[in-house]
Chains A and B, each alone.
Chain A
Amino acid sequence: MMSVSASEPQRYLRAQIRWQPVEALFWVATLLPFVVTPSYLVLASQIAITGLFALSLDLIVGYAGLVSLGHAAYFGFGSYTAGLISKWGWGEPLTGLFIAAAAAGVLGYITSVVIARFRHLALIMITLGFGVLLAEAANSASWLTGGADGLQGMRMWKLLGMFEFDLYGYAGFSYALAVLFLAFLLARRLINSPFGLALRGIRENAVRMPAIGADNPAHIRKIYTIAAVMAGTAGALLAQTTETVSLETLSFQRSADVLVVLILGGAGRLYGGLVGAIVYMVARDQASGVNPQYWYFWIGILLIAVVTFLPNGILGGLARLMPAAGRRA
């Protein structure tokens, strides 16, 4: 825009999308594991992957205001796609990631055609149904997926032809973090676009939307497809960095966990899924160190405490102290 004196709406919009210092601080801090906890890079890479998965769910739950209990379907589908490509002899990570993401997007679009017709309780049941359906299909197609034993025989080539995925997770974490950052830039752009505004319109009042001429189902199909691409990317990252895929990637448990992560961090805040992933994964790591059998007990306590005292998640609580940190963009 070449306008010399920006009008009031323009100034407001630019302020809305401007990067906050705390955001820059957050992304610089994501590099800390390399220096501070180099022996925990595998965990850090799991956190980045979970953060990406939660970010994709945030677009649906936090922005469009729709509920999903079957988001692992897209994650697992991306995982298995990436795993099979590698098993069948193509171990190049980036192309594998793209193909897996695209495959998850196709699945996202197909399911969204049905999903876009429902809301509330029916929507929960439909998404749950899709998730369980796919998990069982993968379980019974053991000739393809390895069934309960998991997918064996993946062999990843070097990242960019240079960096080996090793046990220490340098390449793995760098890769996951870079992909997470790119996906975040995309999501940030999306929620600050007219489409992002339309999603918030659906969340705020799905009845009014048609009365201003909005095609809600078309918006919902689109966001489901985009979110599925992101979830599939997260799943593919997990498969590629661990060189294995288990049925757990498609499980109801994973769908539920990612919702917990998002609500913990704060839905509809873009950074909520990322903060939630850090808190959840570190808490799980610590709690399972203390008592491997009952770690979910502590997660339960944490979840109850957060929703009781911080109804808008950790970021919602922070927002009261620092308005810029938890701003709902």
Chain B
Amino acid sequence: MSTLALATRGLDKSFGSLAVATNVTLELPRGERYALIGPNGAGKTTLINLITGMLKPDRGQILLDSQDITPLKPAERVRRGLVRTFQINTLFPDLNALEAVALAVCERERCSGRWWRTLPSYGAAFEEAHTILVSLELAASCFRPTRELAYGQQRLLEIALALAAKPAVLLLDEPAAGVPQAESAELFSVIANLSQDMTVLFIEHDMNVVFRFAKRIIVMVGGRILVEGTPQEIASDPRVREVYLGRGARHA
């Protein structure tokens, strides 16, 4: 049994002459909490799109639990436990939170194609969805259409949908994007409390959050991985300081 939950080998991707990923090689051990940081346009979201299959790499491989998943479609990767959330809310506006999460449970359980029995026969899926929503403190408004939920609640629902797929590897694309700083700590405590078997990679700009919640940090610049290490190593790395502090943009 391998201890690597997710690995990439030499991923390349370019749009015309613009290289958005160059020789990206990653190794995420099981249960680790990784942060992926880098300036805007560094290729962080592109990397998530490549890993989840929403983009096809020009070269390279993606391994999930040591199995090559490079040719698989996004939905097939999800069913193998590789799940993502989106930086911009990608929800079901007219479904309520309970329906949306139960739908994700049904897709995982492969019962979403059944049409000869009505939903109360699938109470277990809805109970599970409800439990997930309770754990994220969304239960109180779980019967309201998603579009009526507060923005912060919608960010949590993003995560709830991903959790319903029972991920082995969870990729969070700026889970706190747009959430006030005071609330983002709350959101990250949810992430910190996730099962220790789950491997988590999150993109985040707030360095306080990153240093608090990540065990290891990957720094991307210009489609390449600049450096990977513990928060202490990253904080003292001169190249990272150059990228971030050299521009004077991110110093808190």
A308 contacts which chain B residues (CB < 8 A)? Answer: none
B83 contacts which chain A residues (CB < 8 A)? Answer: 211-212
| CB–CB A193/B161 < 8 A | no
| CB–CB A212/B165 < 8 A | yes
B127's contact among A7, A201, A214, by CB below 8 Å, is which? Answer: A7
A40 to B234, CA, bound (A): 82
Nearest residue, chain A, Cβ from B161: A212
- Interfacial residues of chain A within 167-221, with CB under 8 A of chain B in the complex: 189-190, 192-198, 200-201, 203-205, 207-216, 218-219
A210's contact among B78, B103, B108, by CB below 8 Å, is which? Answer: B78
A208's contact among B79, B90, B98, B115, by CB below 8 Å, is which? Answer: B90
| CB–CB A16/B106 < 8 A | no
Q: Does B123 contact A (CB under 8 A)?
A: yes
Q: Mark B95-107, 1 if CB is under 8 A from A, else 0.
A: 1001110111011
Q: Does B74 contact A (CB under 8 A)?
A: yes
| CB–CB A205/B112 < 8 A | no
Nearest residue, chain A, Cβ from B123: A10
A278 to B77, CA, bound (A): 47
Which of B79, B100, B115, B117 has its CB near the most chain A CB atoms (within 10 A)?
B115
Q: Does B244 contact A (CB under 8 A)?
A: no
| CB–CB B123/A213 < 8 A | no
| CB–CB A194/B106 < 8 A | yes
B104's contact among A12, A17, A212, by CB below 8 Å, is which? Answer: A212
| CB–CB A205/B120 < 8 A | no
Chain B nearest CB from A109 CB (Å) reads 14
Interface residues on A, range: 35 or more
B93's contact among A204, A214, A215, by CB below 8 Å, is which? Answer: A204
| CB–CB B113/A201 < 8 A | no
Q: If A192-B118, A197-B106 touch, does A9 touch B129 (CB 8 Å cutoff)?
A: yes
Q: Does A24 contact B (CB under 8 A)?
A: no
Nearest residue, chain B, Cβ from A3: B123
A7 to B129, CA, bound (A): 13
Chain B nearest CB from A97 CB (Å) reads 20
B75's contact among A196, A204, A210, A328, by CB below 8 Å, is which? Answer: A210
Chain A nearest CB from B39 CB (Å) reads 26
| CB–CB A197/B104 < 8 A | no
Chain B nearest CB from A184 CB (Å) reads 14
| CB–CB B130/A8 < 8 A | yes
B126's contact among A13, A209, A226, by CB below 8 Å, is which? Answer: A13
A219 to B110, CA, bound (A): 12
Chain A nearest CB from B157 CB (Å) reads 11
| CB–CB B86/A211 < 8 A | yes
A35 contacts which chain B residues (CB < 8 A)? Answer: none
Q: Mark A249-268, 1 if CB is under 8 A from B, else 0.
A: 00000000000000000000
Chain A nearest CB from B134 CB (Å) reads 10
A203 contacts which chain B residues (CB < 8 A)? Answer: 94
B115's contact among A193, A210, A213, by CB below 8 Å, is which? Answer: A193
Chain B nearest CB from A117 CB (Å) reads 13
Nearest residue, chain B, Cβ from A202: B92
A190's contact among B106, B108, B112, B115, by CB below 8 Å, is which? Answer: B115
Q: If A197-B99, A212-B107 touch, does A219 touch B113 (CB 8 Å cutoff)?
A: yes
Chain B nearest CB from A222 CB (Å) reads 6
Nearest residue, chain B, Cβ from A10: B123
Nearest residue, chain B, Cβ from A200: B95
| CB–CB A16/B119 < 8 A | yes
A157 to B169, CA, bound (A): 63
| CB–CB B94/A213 < 8 A | no
A205 contacts which chain B residues (CB < 8 A)? Answer: 90-93
| CB–CB B114/A195 < 8 A | yes
| CB–CB A198/B126 < 8 A | no
Q: Does B111 contact A (CB under 8 A)?
A: yes
Q: Does A14 contact B (CB under 8 A)?
A: yes
Q: If A208-B90, A211-B84, A213-B165 touch, does A198 touch B103 (CB 8 Å cutoff)?
A: yes
Q: Does A4 contact B (CB under 8 A)?
A: no
B164 contacts which chain A residues (CB < 8 A)? Answer: 212
| CB–CB B92/A214 < 8 A | no
Chain A nearest CB from B235 CB (Å) reads 33
B79 contacts which chain A residues (CB < 8 A)? Answer: 213
Q: Interface residues, chain A, CB within 8 Å of chain B? A: 1, 7-10, 12-14, 16-17, 189-190, 192-198, 200-201, 203-205, 207-216, 218-219, 222, 226, 328
7 A-B pairs whose Cβ atoms sit less than 8 Å apart in the complex:
A9-B102, A194-B106, A195-B113, A212-B108, A213-B104, A216-B75, A219-B112
Other than the given A200-B95, A204-B92, 12 more pairs (CB < 8 A) read A7-B123, A7-B130, A9-B126, A10-B127, A189-B116, A189-B117, A193-B115, A194-B114, A195-B115, A203-B94, A209-B107, A216-B75
Q: Interface residues, chain B, CB within 8 Å of chain A? A: 52, 73-75, 78-79, 83-84, 86, 90-95, 98-100, 102-104, 106-108, 111-120, 122-123, 125-127, 129-130, 143, 161-162, 164-165
